[in-house]
Structure 1
Amino acid sequence: MNRRAILLLSALVAAAVGLGALWYPHPPAKTAWQGYAEADYVKVGPTQQGLLTAVNVVRGAKVEVGTPLFAQDDTADRAACDQAARRLQQAKDQLANLEAAGKPTEIAQADANLADAHATLERTKVDLDRAQALIKDGAVTAQTLDQRRADYSSATARVAAMQAALAQARAPMGRLSEIKAQRAAVDAAQAALQMAQWRLSQRRVTSPVAARVADVLARPGETMAAGAPVVSLLPPGNIFVRFFVSEAELATIRRGDPVTIRCDGRRDGIAATVSFVSPQAEYTPPVIYSDESRAKLVYLIEARPPPEEAAHFNPGQPVTVMPAAARPRP
């Protein structure tokens, strides 16, 4: 066989192989996206400015709800509580004084005066009745009868006055408007005490969630502003995964879709649910765990695994995300 025939035969074989490769069905490439774990940290700080006196946790420790985290100097707040408590007691004492009746001796005196007035009234009534009986016989003059009537009227008026004096001695010392105003003052003092107690309680800060201490951002001796974070907490349920998909793949994924997350150290995939799909495109991040790094527009996607599975990830850990079994779409 000459050389030309050999070359021709080789070309035919190569063409046949190429056509066979094109014709033979290949399994479709499996879709996978590169991403990394991220977290929403709970940064706990004081509600008011103050000197940090103690930090009760260290980085990496696990805390439960109510675990003491840190404390501030509470000298001024304790004094404010004492002052508010004394003002409240003073307001209550003034209200009690306004609502109280007269002294026991004053009430006894008014009662005795009323009894004396009743005795005088009875005597003048008897004198008046006698004078009215004797005037028919002329034993008394009309002037005497008039005097007996005046004495009786005076005694009646004195009884009414003594009754009013006794009621006044038994009634509250303050007027109704004064008592109402003092009751409002007591309520205001009570509210001031509650506010002072709340401010004092805020000097001891406890954990609002069960979490791991991600970082301690301040040390005793530092003066912290209100809201400045002292401890950064990482609840397990706050860990999620971020990955990026191209525009061509965006139509295949939506919020609520199931995905599978794989990472080093776990042979089986971890189920998660897409929780966020960015409405805007962006360029590929300069630092992304991917076999290829090229400038192209992608869309940010976030997926959240169940809280019990999220604890297997650490923020910044590279992961691979794949779509889970397809589900029917409406």
Structure 2
Amino acid sequence: MQPGIITQRIAFAMMLKSRLRILLLFPALSLLILSACNRDPATSWQGYAEGEYVYVAAQRSGRLLEMAVRKGETVNAGTPLFRLDPEPEATAVAEAQQRLEQAGFRRDDLGSGERPSEIAALQAQREQARVARDLAQKELIRQESLFAENVTSRELLDRSRAAAQQTAAVVAELDARLTTARLGGRIGQRQALSAEAAALGEALRQAEWHLSQKSPTAPQSGLVFDTLFEVGELIPSGTPVVILLPETGRKARFYVPEPQLAGLHPGDKVMLRFDGGELPATISFISPQAEYTPPVIYSSDTRSKLVYLVEARPDPAGAARLKPGQPLEVTPQ
């Protein structure tokens, strides 16, 4: 479906909703006038039921693969509504998982130190150095004894002493290298790899979230009021696909003449009467402006013609009985 057609479809749905409000407003005003002639205007007001719709869209674009619900069906919160093509988000998730695993392997390898064969080679070199050190130490002792008896020269004694010191230094060097090999990587390197793994973990969670947006679920329980696309159509990101009417997304809108307005307050109880039953409701909103203003200057004779919009919400237990557009008669309690 072309983007222009999608925009026209959504605009047409919004236009129908606006016209429905206008069409319902005129009968409500007419009924208000008739009720003023036939009964005490303080006993009831005329109005209608209205729905507060939830437009469910996907954060990502894609082709519609499955529509999991049908128009008129009742769904619970968390119910899958539709599913878009998971690519390329599914590939991004797999790539992020592999990058995170690679970082984990590098961190573990750095923390484990040198390989066992490398450590074994260092141990063998150290053992050879110890043998050479012990031999050089014995030769030094022998040369010192011979020098004391004037049997050998000072030059040979100095060479023996230098050989003993050299072999001892080699042993010390190999001991240090062996200790370093067992320690693993430097602390800074390990911290850097840990930070890299944490960043890759966040990237994975973000990729998984983008993938989950390809399969939206119902944010709350309610009625599937309409579905706007067919399977196979390409849906832009942020475009509504399913319209829900929540169970608690119903309210009464009625009009109260200006002289009676002072007796109503948010929180007051009213009774909603309709064909087939009645429901208790609570006033939630009183408009600060008149819905109908006559083209004359206000006076004590004309101000009674003003009507003000009042909204009331029914008790949640019976709210689903109200149908959007249904005429209502509202009486105070």
Q: Secondary structure at the match of 1:60?
A: coil
Of 245, 255, 261, 1:234 maps to 245
Flag the 1:112–1:42 CA change in 2: closer, same or farther, 3 A. same
The code of the aligned residue for 1:159 comes to V
Query: How many Å separate the matches in 1 of 2:41 and 2:288?
Result: 27
Corresponding position: 1:309 with 2:321: no
Q: How does 1:47-196 map to 2 (within 5 A)?
A: 47-172=59-184, 174-196=185-207
How big is the shift at 1:53?
A: 1.6
Shifted more, 93-102 versus 205-214: the winner is 93-102
Flag the 1:61–1:132 CA change in 2: closer, same or farther, 3 A. same
Percent of aligned pairs sharing the same letter: 40
Flag the 1:28–1:220 CA change in 2: closer, same or farther, 3 A. closer
Q: State the Cα deviation string for residues 69-123 of structure 1 (Å, max 9, x = none).
A: 1110113222222222222233333334443422332221111111111112212
Of 318, 321, 324, 2:327 maps to 318
In structure 2, the partner of 1:41 is 53
Contact 1:236 1:308 survives alignment (8 Å): no
Q: Secondary structure at the match of 1:185?
A: helix
Flag the 1:199–1:28 CA change in 2: closer, same or farther, 3 A. closer
Q: Secondary structure at the match of 2:216?
A: strand
Query: How many Å separate the matches in 2 of 1:28 and 1:195?
Result: 62
Q: State the Cα deviation string for residues 249-293 of structure 1 (Å, max 9, x = none).
A: 110101001111111112xx4211101111122217xxxxxxxxx
Q: Secondary structure at the match of 2:229?
A: coil
Corresponding position: 1:243 with 2:249: no
How big is the shift at 1:188?
A: 2.5
Flag the 1:30–1:254 CA change in 2: closer, same or farther, 3 A. closer
The code of the aligned residue for 1:246 comes to P
Contact 2:286 2:311 survives alignment (8 Å): yes
Query: How many Å separate the matches in 2 of 1:56 and 1:207?
Result: 11
Shifted more, 132-141 versus 111-120: the winner is 132-141
In structure 2, the partner of 1:291 is none
Query: How many Å separate the matches in 2 of 1:202 and 1:159?
Result: 63
Query: How many Å separate the matches in 1 of 2:138 and 2:242?
Result: 93
Q: Aligned pairs, how many?
A: 286
Structure 1 alignment gaps of length 5 or more:
1-26, 285-294, 325-330
In structure 1, the partner of 2:263 is 252
In structure 2, the partner of 1:282 is 291
Query: How many Å separate the matches in 2 of 1:28 and 1:106?
Result: 102
Q: Secondary structure at the match of 1:138?
A: coil
Contact 1:71 1:205 survives alignment (8 Å): yes
Corresponding position: 1:298 with 2:310: no
How big is the shift at 1:30?
A: 4.7
The code of the aligned residue for 2:90 comes to R
Instruction: From the two aligned structures, give the one with the greater helix fraction.
Output: 2
Query: How many Å separate the matches in 1 of 2:320 and 2:198?
Result: 49
Corresponding position: 1:208 with 2:207: no
How big is the shift at 1:233?
A: 1.2
Query: How many Å separate the matches in 2 of 1:100 and 1:217?
Result: 57
Contact 1:275 1:304 survives alignment (8 Å): yes
Q: TM-score, normalised by structure 1?
A: 0.79
Query: How many Å separate the matches in 2 of 1:306 and 1:252?
Result: 22
Flag the 1:40–1:66 CA change in 2: closer, same or farther, 3 A. same
How big is the shift at 1:239?
A: 0.9
In structure 2, the partner of 1:289 is none
Query: How many Å separate the matches in 2 of 1:188 and 1:28?
Result: 71
Query: How many Å separate the matches in 2 of 1:296 and 1:53?
Result: 55
How big is the shift at 1:316?
A: 0.6
How big is the shift at 1:56?
A: 1.3
CA RMSD across the alignment: 2.3
Q: Secondary structure at the match of 2:325?
A: coil
Bigger radius of gyration among the two: 1
Q: TM-score, normalised by structure 2?
A: 0.79
How big is the shift at 1:29?
A: 6.2
In structure 2, the partner of 1:220 is 231
Structure 2 alignment gaps of length 5 or more:
1-38, 294-303
In structure 2, the partner of 1:12 is none
